Structure 1
């Protein structure tokens, strides 16, 4: 079985933006974004120029 899957970075960034607007910091955002590993969410947030 293949362990890889596609992640919708746009959806993660949108949700992160919503949480940022509520005043959450990056660590809190990573903890709240469900369904994806914390390391992956952190990587997406750190590598995005849109966030």
Structure 2
């Protein structure tokens, strides 16, 4: 959930109509886009996992 997205729907989860195509599109869009934002944390966790694997 990105705080910069407008929250102007009434009473729906996170301000979105969860049944709408727009909501599903945003959900699909968020997944790949979130990777670069968290790349630092991901690389850190990946390093830990690789260290555990040996």
What TM-score range do you get, normalising by the shorter chain? 0.3 to 0.5
Q: Which has the higher contact order (CA 8 A, sep 6+)?
A: 1
Q: Which has the higher helix share?
A: 2
Q: What is the TM-score normalised by the length of structure 1? A: 0.36
Q: What is the TM-score normalised by the length of structure 2? A: 0.34
